[in-house]
Structure 1
Amino acid sequence: MKRTEILGRWGINRLIEVAKGRWLVVIVVGILLGIFAGVAIEEKAVVIQVDGQQVTLRTFKSTVGEALSQTEIQLGAQDRVIPDPGTKLKDGMQIQVLRAFPVQLIVDGEVREVVTPPATVQEVLELAGIKMGPLDQVSPALSEAVTGGVRVQIIRVEEKMMTADVEIPYPVDRRQDQNLERGINRVLQKGRNGLERQLVKVTYENGKEVKREVISSEVIKEPVKAIIAMGSLTSVSRGGQRLNFDRAMVMTATAYTYTGHNTATGIPPYVGGIAVDPKVIPLGTKLYVDGYGFATAVDCGGAIVGNRIDVFLETERECQRWGRRQVKVFVLN
């Protein structure tokens, strides 16, 4: 092979290698210039709203968090930044710093405090790790926004099913009886309560029962009604006399004699004057007492309470013979 031919081939290859190296340098330099030019172009102006103020910042940083780190704004652990600190920064972007504040939570018999940025009640509960049961109630509502000074109250609600046996009150059948004096009743048939078995839903709020609802019921024992005869007679015969009266009562009667004191009405005791309970028979009422006769309520005493009277007799012996007895007392018209 000729020398000139060998040299020609070597020279061409060398020239190609040199050319490649120069182009590589040109390309690298071009890329670097493009990067520096791009950085210079990407300076951004952003507006930061914090603590009631608005701050304009010009920065070459690439994320919201990096831009904030360039300022003197101190972020608390629970402060919220909008958009998120990891968000890519854009020219003209609005950045908000929302300061956290304490909120009181009343739950399970305790008062707890949680520091939170502006959020809904539901978000605050999630932050505090409080789980709501399906029936639990919360005030304010879960969707409402929480502000400083607000108390969030959680009411734990629980429902339980139980059975209960409940008495059914017996009905009363009252019948007028013309053979009985008005005011006197007679039981013809004694009433008996029935029994009902109920399925009850009991609602508890914070462990305390607040409501009972009967879901279903079954009568186990039917009630038996009471039958009562009610006197309607207003006139009776005593000692050949016709007595017209307003009402009659069966009362326990005892007797007393002179004590050396006047009666409660200020007059001396006398036969025909009796002691009564003024809440049952007002003083001054005209009466007829079976076994004693006509009488007037003129006295009272500490032992004479309710359906009791004390008739006056002249002697201690008469009082002993009288003893204690049940009598009919007629309140005369």
Structure 2
Amino acid sequence: MESFLSSQRFFNKKILIAAMILLLVFTGVIVAQLNKTVIINHDGQQTEVKTFASSVEDILKKEGIQLNEKDKVIPQLHEKVKDGSTITIHRGFEIILIDAGQEKTITTAEATIEDLLKSLNIELSKLDEVEPGINNTLHPGEVVKITRVEESLLVEEQEIPFQTIIRYNDSLEHGELVTTQEGQKGLKEVKVKIAYEDGIEISREIIEEKIHKPAINEIVEKGTMNYIVTSRGEVRRYKKVLTMEATAYDAGYESTGKRPGDPYYGITRSGTKVRPGVVAVDPSVIPLGTKLYIESTDSTPSYGIAVAEDTGGAIKGNRIDLYYEKRSEALKFGRRDVKVYILEQ
């Protein structure tokens, strides 16, 4: 009986020892699982810590790492960490945000402009512009500008102005105007795309036009009949006007080389008797027999109505010689420019 009890005690002792060994092994496994190695990136440095803490928040508190309100922690504070995990702390910094012309200072820990806008619940339309680019990295003191771009379509009716067409008519008095067709305005529908930046219009572009009623042009005939009013008040039509160098002559020997008694004394190249109103010309410029009106270009009286009946050895090209009965009048005239109107016959 005693031997049996001794055996029983020995067996129980072995079981106890085995149980203790198992407990130690299990405890070691649990401890090994709870004790983790974690990397903390913060303030420009990297720290490796061993910890039994399970959450990001607990680890940072245990390490004495203080957080500001706008700091960003990855993973988030409530998340659990595993062995080998990395905790990254992005410290908040100030940037300037200009949105549609409204400027404000923002404290953020976001890495990119896109992340910044998401964190602020700022939405962009397809036309909005962001400077710098939305994928750019944020830096302290950065100025982020959002330009709000909008487009609208304006449909309006517009008048089409008519054009005035001038047609020249030499059967009408010079300068006379006669309307032969009344002008009428047209009507068109115009679609205009208007672009705005931050609520301010920056451009207008016509993208479509539809003509509902075409314009009818006004037609005006303008008289081109040339006429002058002579010094005597007569209205005479003319075909052409020339500015010429004028001299004067008389029937005497000094002007013609002929004296009284000469059969050709006082006779023109045309065979007519010289008289006031007869002028000598170059027939290649003004044909003989042409009726003229000689107008003074200065304050002296105009010579008046004349006829080209004579020629002269010195009268070549753009020159004209005016007949006066008295030698003194011819000398007084001298040499001057005149306007020579070639009259209608």
TM-score, length of structure 2 as denominator length: 0.54
- Structure 1 residue 15, shift from structure 2 partner: 5.9
Counterpart secondary structure, 2:166 = strand
Q: Distance in 1 between matches of 2:176 and 2:139?
A: 72
TM-score, length of structure 1 as denominator length: 0.55
Q: Show CA shifts across 1:160-210 (max 9, x none).
A: 334200111213322223345666655433322200023333333333333
| Alignment-derived partner of residue 149 in structure 1 | 141
What are the equivalent positions in structure 2 for 1:24-35 lying under 5 Å apart? 24-33=19-28
Question: Percent identity over the alignment?
Answer: 24
Change (3 A) 1:95 1:229: same
- Structure 1 residue 125, shift from structure 2 partner: 1.4
Q: Distance in 2 between matches of 1:244 and 1:80?
A: 95
What are the equivalent positions in structure 2 for 1:84-163 lying under 5 Å apart? 86=79, 88=81, 97-108=89-100, 110-163=102-155
Q: Distance in 2 between matches of 1:168 and 1:66?
A: 78
Could you tell me whether the CA contact under 8 Å between 2:38 and 2:87 is conserved in 1? no
Q: Distance in 2 between matches of 1:45 and 1:159?
A: 53
Q: Show CA shifts across 1:97-150 (max 9, x none).
A: 432222222225532332112422221112122222333332222222232333
- Structure 1 residue 223, shift from structure 2 partner: 0.4
Q: Distance in 1 between matches of 2:242 and 2:121?
A: 79
The higher radius of gyration belongs to: 2
Change (3 A) 1:57 1:15: closer
Change (3 A) 1:61 1:182: farther
- Structure 1 residue 56, shift from structure 2 partner: 4.8
Q: Which moved more, 1:160-169 or 1:7-16?
A: 7-16
| Alignment-derived partner of residue 159 in structure 2 | 167
Q: Distance in 2 between matches of 1:133 and 1:177?
A: 63
Q: Distance in 2 between matches of 1:72 and 1:16?
A: 52
Could you tell me whether the CA contact under 8 Å between 1:235 and 1:245 is conserved in 2? no
Could you tell me whether the CA contact under 8 Å between 2:196 and 2:202 is conserved in 1? yes
Unmatched 5+ stretches in structure 1? 247-285, 288-293, 295-331
| Alignment-derived partner of residue 54 in structure 1 | 45
Change (3 A) 1:187 1:144: farther
Counterpart secondary structure, 1:146 = coil
What are the equivalent positions in structure 2 for 1:311-330 lying under 5 Å apart? none
Q: Distance in 1 between matches of 2:174 and 2:5?
A: 150
Asked if 1:22 is matched to 2:17, the reply is yes
Could you tell me whether the CA contact under 8 Å between 2:36 and 2:83 is conserved in 1? no
Q: Distance in 2 between matches of 1:184 and 1:30?
A: 125
Q: Distance in 2 between matches of 1:212 and 1:76?
A: 49
Counterpart secondary structure, 2:20 = helix
Could you tell me whether the CA contact under 8 Å between 2:71 and 2:89 is conserved in 1? yes
Change (3 A) 1:130 1:12: same
- Structure 1 residue 224, shift from structure 2 partner: 0.7
Change (3 A) 1:142 1:87: farther
Change (3 A) 1:208 1:56: closer
Q: Distance in 2 between matches of 1:23 and 1:72?
A: 42
Q: Show CA shifts across 1:199-252 (max 9, x none).
A: 333333333333334443322211010113345455534324779599xxxxxx
Q: Distance in 2 between matches of 1:39 and 1:150?
A: 44
Counterpart secondary structure, 2:26 = helix
1:200 aligned to 184, 192, 198, which one? 192
Change (3 A) 1:218 1:64: same
